[in-house]
Structure 1
Amino acid sequence: MNPSIARDTPPPQTQEEAAALHKQRLRAELLARRKALTEEDKAAADALIGQRVLHWCAAQAIHSLAVYQPIRREPDLSAAYNALAARGVHLCLPVVVDKQAALEFRAWHPGDALEKDALGTLVPPAGTAVVRPQALLIPCLGANAAGFRLGYGGGFYDRTLAATPRPLAVGVCHGFGRVEFEAQPHDIALDSVIFDDI
Structure 2
Amino acid sequence: SNYAVSYLEKNGIKLLTGAKIAKIEDGAVVYKDAEDAEHKVEASTIVWTVGVSGVDVIKDSGMEARRNRVMTTEFLNLEDHPEAYFIGDDSAIIPAGSERPLPTTGQLATAEGGAVAFNIASALAGTELKPFVYKSAGTVASLGQNHGIAQVGSRKFKGVTASLIKHLAADRSFMEMGGLKTALKKGSL
Same fold (TM over 0.5): no
Higher gyration radius (CA): 2
TM-score class normalised by the smaller sequence: under 0.3
Q: TM-score, normalised to structure 1's length?
A: 0.25
Report which structure shows greater RCO (CA 8 Å, sep ≥6): 1
